[in-house]
Structure 1
Amino acid sequence: MDSADTDIDGEDVRRVVTLAVDVLKGADAPAWEAKAGTLEWTCWETLEHLADDLFTYAARFGLSKPPTDTLLPFRTSSDRSGGPANVIFVDRAAGPDGLLTVLEACGGLMASVLRTTPSTTVSYHVFGPSDPEGFAAMAVVETLVHTHDIAQGLNRQWSPLRELCLRVLRKLFPHVTVRGDAWHNLLWATGRTALPDRPRLTEWRWYGTRSE
């Protein structure tokens, strides 16, 4: 497989976050309290979680030697029992526009950090230590699938770029045989849907690349 088939970088993160913001903007504030797809979180909570993912991924590479066996010692909390435990929360008074602004800012931070971090740097993830390109791919997957969750709750249509879906499948899901539409395969690989020949997954994971 040519390396170009799996290359992911900060500009891919910036692009997918921009597309997500464009799809989700304009929804009324009450709509953000609906459940996000099949998740137990609301659309608002899910977007905070996504912003939190992007921020904490970026923060790892702010260190000259990121930890490879533990998370950074941020204090996390949840607004309610059953809600996501985050570092990042958005001022409710800022409304949906403020929520999307924070997402865009965290995506931009992630993109900027990826551009300046040496490719051999390795940092911790629960699925195994990974390099900047691996974290770029994780950020893209998080954005793709959580935008799907939120779009379901907001009754929006989200149809991301298939070539980007295919690249992250090849990068992080080498165990998945891609047949047909790459986006539908990614939704299956992340437990969001069934495929005609494959039941919906109740457990799933990805495999980040570790630099040696």
Structure 2
Amino acid sequence: MGGDFGGDQVAEAVEGSVALLRTAAGRDWDGVRAGRLEWSCRRTAEHISSDLIAYAGQLAGRATTAYVPFEIVMDDGTDNTGVVDVIETTGALFAAVVRTTPREVRAFHPYPFRSANREGFAAMGIAEVLLHAHDIAEGLQLTYEPPAALCEGVLTRIFPHVRPGPSPWRTLLWATGRGELPGRAPVTEWRWSNNLVIESERLTLQGVTPAAAADLRAGGTGGFEWIEGGPFEGTRDAAGMVLKAYEGGVHRPEWGVFVLVRRKDGRALGGMGFHGAPDEEGRAEVGYDLAENARGHGYATEALRALAAWALARDDVKLLLAAVDRSNTPSQGVISRAGFTRVSEDVEQYAYELHGMDRSLQLYAREA
């Protein structure tokens, strides 16, 4: 689930789809509809190459506000074999761009948070290749099933809201309206979801995907470059909460965990996030920790201010809560400087009795 996901996986997806399409290049693609799509098999194949070169252009051009305004057009007289050659070529170009793009680079993609990093673009490109190869195969009555690891890599990076199913490929097909899963309603509308990034002056708060959460929980880096001493155990525990929510099908990615990354060197310093989505009364709880070597520089305060501002600007959030150990004076300073205040004794008592809050903790709140 975790680990590197990039150019090699793009190349693998393209290689598999190209091998399949070459077996049917001599058939009529224009007159055959691609699976459940309105497009023909030919148009769908051309669309694969258009997506691959467009994604390569976004990353290579560091586009931040819109798509780079260009498109790929086949020469007149290009046959199906030529179209497959173009898919292979644009796939190689995209894989090369993904491999050479620094981790911290983000480029424009409209949904849902207006940007994606190289891993997100790789996942989107692979999804386009796998799913449209499936569409063409269905139209031409070919057998096609890509490697499970590629499908799982896509699901755990850009479908964090989709509960895992009996097999990654069947789950990906169901999640994109191309198949059925026992006990689940058919999907008629869908979107993938790249991770949310919230910016502050010195930091970026980068949303942790289920893939990164699994790696962190297993003792890995989550794909981040950490300062010495990181990640702190609290971040790994929080990643475990993300993973549990994902596996239960209740994960809402914008209400998960964020890794705090220092802008000047791309180093991860700690974790911060929510204990879950807001309740019916608009209350959400936040938590945070930093690697010991990152403490004392105001990073936690800066990050918490940014996270709180983002949350309280939403219509579904009225109150943010944070529980801090009574003996943790530095953390009490962070929470206070971020605009939180101690709640009244009766509210604190309510938290103890109804929610089982440990009496060694003090409750702080910040209102919209």
Q: CA deviation at 1:168?
A: 1.1
Q: CA deviation at 1:73?
A: 2.0
Of residues 4, 11, 18 in structure 2, which corresponds to 1:14? Answer: 11
Distance 1:55 1:141 in 2: 14
Distance 1:33 1:132 in 2: 36
Q: Which moved more, 1:25-34 or 1:122-131?
A: 25-34
Paired residues of 1:29 and 1:95 also in contact (CA < 8 A):
no
**Residue matched to 1:148:** 134
Distance 2:23 2:153 in 1: 30
- The answer to whether the aligner puts 1:55 opposite 2:68 as a matched pair is no
Paired residues of 1:32 and 1:154 also in contact (CA < 8 A):
no
Distance 1:30 1:146 in 2: 17
**SS of 1:68's equivalent?**
coil
- The answer to whether the aligner puts 1:162 opposite 2:160 as a matched pair is no
Q: Which runs of 5+ in 2 are unaligned?
A: 198-203, 205-368
Of residues 72, 83, 86 in structure 1, which corresponds to 2:68? Answer: 72
Paired residues of 1:36 and 1:46 also in contact (CA < 8 A):
yes
- Within 5 A, what are the aligned runs for 1:32-47? 32-47=30-45
Cα-to-partner distance string for 1:118-171 (whole Å, 9 max, x where unaligned): 111111112130001110011111111010001011111111101211121111
Distance 1:149 1:92 in 2: 24
Q: CA deviation at 1:177?
A: 0.7
Q: CA deviation at 1:196?
A: 1.7
Cα-to-partner distance string for 1:66-113 (whole Å, 9 max, x where unaligned): 232211122xxxxxxxxxxxx223235231110100000000000011
Distance 1:47 1:88 in 2: 12
Of residues 157, 162, 172 in structure 2, which corresponds to 1:186? Answer: 172
* Paired letter, 1:153: G
**SS of 2:65's equivalent?**
coil
State the number of aligned residues: 195
Paired residues of 1:145 and 1:187 also in contact (CA < 8 A):
yes
**SS of 2:157's equivalent?**
helix
Distance 1:151 1:57 in 2: 24
The 3 A distance-change label for structure 1 pair 187 and 199 is same
Of residues 185, 189, 192 in structure 2, which corresponds to 1:206? Answer: 192
**Residue matched to 1:113:** 97
Cα-to-partner distance string for 1:1-31 (whole Å, 9 max, x where unaligned): x732xx4101100111010011111322424
Paired residues of 1:57 and 1:110 also in contact (CA < 8 A):
yes
CA RMSD of aligned residues (A): 1.5
* Paired letter, 2:16: L
**Residue matched to 1:129:** 115
Q: CA deviation at 1:194?
A: 2.1
- Give the structure with the larger helix fraction: 1
Q: Which has the higher contact order (CA 8 A, sep 6+)?
A: 1
**Residue matched to 2:349:** none
Paired residues of 2:98 and 2:118 also in contact (CA < 8 A):
yes
* Paired letter, 2:36: T
Paired residues of 1:9 and 1:133 also in contact (CA < 8 A):
yes
**Residue matched to 1:3:** 2
Q: CA deviation at 1:198?
A: 1.2
Q: Which runs of 5+ in 1 are unaligned?
A: 75-86
- Give the structure with the larger strand fraction: 2
Greater CA radius of gyration, 1 or 2? 2
Query: What TM-score, normalized by structure 1, do the two folds share?
Result: 0.87
